[in-house]
Structure 1
Amino acid sequence: MDGRTRVTAAIGAEEASRQEKRTSRSRNLAILLAVGLVWFGLDMLTKSWINGSYEVGQTVVGPILGLVQFTLVHNTGMAWGMFGDSTTALGVMSLVVCCVLIVYLLALSPRASVAEAVGIALVVAGGLGNALDRFTLGYVVDFIEPVFIDFPVFNVADIGVTCGFVLFLGGLLLRERREAARERALMNGDASQDSQGPDLP
């Protein structure tokens, strides 16, 4: 492969990379909005229903398959009662984390995978849902209580944050492995072509 062909190939690869980034950024924005809005809406709907219809400490739904029951709890802190008097600070922290994740998805890592985008959307939706509770109510509405294990009461937002983090981390690790394998393949290909020597006229 002569020098001119190498330059042409490099320019083509760079343009393809830019196009891929633009496409991925648009796709990830759509995922962020769609998944985030659906999960945020589900969180708000369930909280509004149970908080507006029942009393704190009241068990609304008995054990479901021996796994969970619905018991209304107002949580001013974190899990296991930690930071119980810091609800506003925790709300601000949630907003900061959400902003960082959005910037990462749309600006710093435009080629993020679908799994990363869905994971971030769930984390952001859950973080914003709990932050809204803290700022407007002064507490987070929790109601999903495990009955088979000693575990804090949680809500739909918490499910989104936990599952979203796992999905994001898994997608990130998988993408990095694929990109590393792609780079190794390209390097091996270049080395193979170089070993063959220059093209004869």
Structure 2
Amino acid sequence: MKFYNSIGPNPRVVKMFMAERGISVPFEEVDIMGAANRQAPYLSKNPAGQLPCLELDDGAVLSEITAICEYLDEKEGQSSLIGKTPEERAETRMWTRRVDLGICEPLANGFRFSEGLQMFQERMRCVPEAADGLKAIAQDKIAWLDKQMEGKDYIAGKRMTLADILLFCFLDFGTQVGQPLKPENKNIMAWYERMKARPSAEASA
């Protein structure tokens, strides 16, 4: 297998997941600052032009971070990061979807349409006037999640999952691009420090 890597929170999710699982695959760096991901030969691997992607031994290519992580988890033997039972897997997927749609997507697009506009305006449809609203939507969902995490160590309770890895990588990215964590979200702040202290957080940075 080969992992096509770049800077950014999306590749970091998979790298942190692999670090938690002890999975090691060869990396190939793709220069997204130079738009190499929007040109040949990368587009022959992933026609969506996004990072990361995982090339399998038979030449097939997987993209989308949750799909890559689930594939690796199944390939290596199912773990609690996705779930060992149908109930655990359903819970992980539920929270991962909530985190992805409610927080990660508006946070990322809020960045792309403002601080990242110069980089993204020639690569995708950008709506600069929507940036502040998208950032606010992400913060609203973070505040909602903060209440859901009362008394919990992780989003799903005692079990750390892909949902935690996904959220951590995007919130950590947000702190670097003008979307800091709010101290009043005390449960999220405590969770963030627990995640940041994990060796996988440093290994994937």
TM range (shorter): under 0.3
Structure 1 length as normaliser, TM-score?
0.28
Higher helix proportion (structure 1 or 2): 1
Task: State the structure with bigger RCO (CA 8 A, min sep 6), 1 or 2.
Answer: 1
Structure 2 length as normaliser, TM-score?
0.28
Higher strand proportion (structure 1 or 2): 1
Q: Which structure is larger by alpha-carbon Rg, 1 or 2? A: 1
